[in-house]
Amino acid sequence: MSEVLRPSAMPFSAPDDYVAEVAPPGGVPESALWFVFRESRLLVGEAPESIALPETHDPRALGLDPLRETQYLGRLRGAHLFAAEVAGNAEPPAGWRWEGLRALFGAMDDGLFALAGRALQVVDWDRTHQYCGRCGTPTAHKAGERSRECPACGLVVYPRLAPAVMAMVRRLPDEVLLARSPRFPPEMYSALAGFVEPGETLEQCLEREVLEEVGVRVRGLRYFASQPWPFPHSLMIAFVCDWESGEVQANPLEIEAAGWFNVRALPRLPQRISIARRLIDAVVRDMIDARP
């Protein structure tokens, strides 16, 4: 591919100058940056020209009471980072607002935006693992690592991650296979994608998903890039591959429409916050450049 991506260049990927840690240095510092969430919405400053995070020793100083233990995330450019969650009906303090992460893309500092995605996943994991999935006993944080442990049966749970494979299928010389889910905005198409099942390799998942969703067999899989996706806890792993056989038949249980598109006449595509758009752009650019 003509586009070589640094891992940290993808939205939601940890920046190069971030140091991940679990235990804060001697407790909560006097001044730290906080990712405070109300459900999936982040607390940011109201000033539109500069998206700010709360800088304080404790969200309670702003009148916000965390529902659970706060989570230490580490350091970015010397600043200590924490995450917390407040009640779903919590009002923002004066001068602040609740905002979804997608709306902050391009408006917020790139490093902080990436770590907001990490913070949301940690908060969501902590929220959904307060009780043991084996015996129902309340769990507790395990010292020294990002995990919760059941004091009764010893079950240890770590932040959940759901790997999903994305496939950009080419049919040379100038067509790509795109599809749309019923959940997409009107007229938007994207690359095919699906979650990895137990016992599958990434390659097997890709081949199965493409065949299940559109009835096409592929060959020549090549890795493109990966992206953390905090909605709520996925890891997107993107590949390029070539059509081998089969006519496109959209599976109505998963796909609303699918078809071959000429690289010079593409439909509405996803925003650049997603790896899908970067994958499509890179493949299309290479195919156009390869034409005489």
What string of pLDDT tens digits covers the 292 residues of the chain? Answer: 544 455 557 899 999 999 999 998 886 788 899 999 999 999 999 987 779 999 999 999 999 999 998 999 999 998 999 999 999 999 999 999 999 999 999 999 999 999 999 999 999 999 999 999 999 999 999 988 999 999 999 999 999 999 999 999 999 999 999 999 999 999 999 999 999 999 999 999 999 999 999 999 999 999 999 999 999 999 999 999 999 999 999 999 999 999 999 999 999 999 999 999 999 999 999 999 987 6
- In order of their start, the domains of the chain are 7-128 (3.90.79), 162-290 (3.90.79.10)
Write out pLDDT tens, residues 192-218: 999 999 999 999 999 999 999 999 999
Write out pLDDT tens, residues 108-138: 999 999 999 999 999 999 999 999 999 999 9
Question: Which sign does the torsion angle of CA 20, 113, 121, 226 carry?
Answer: negative
User: Which residue matches tokens 């965390």?
Assistant: 66
Tokens of 249: 């038949």
> What's the pTM?
0.91
Q: Which long-range contacts (CB under 8 A, 24 or more apart) does 257-261 make?
A: 257/179, 257/180, 257/189, 258/177, 258/178, 258/179, 258/180, 258/192, 258/213, 258/214, 259/177, 259/178, 259/179, 260/171, 260/175, 260/176, 260/177, 261/175, 261/176, 261/177, 261/178, 261/189
Q: Which long-range contacts (CB under 8 A, 24 or more apart) does 129-134 make?
A: 129/157, 130/68, 133/157
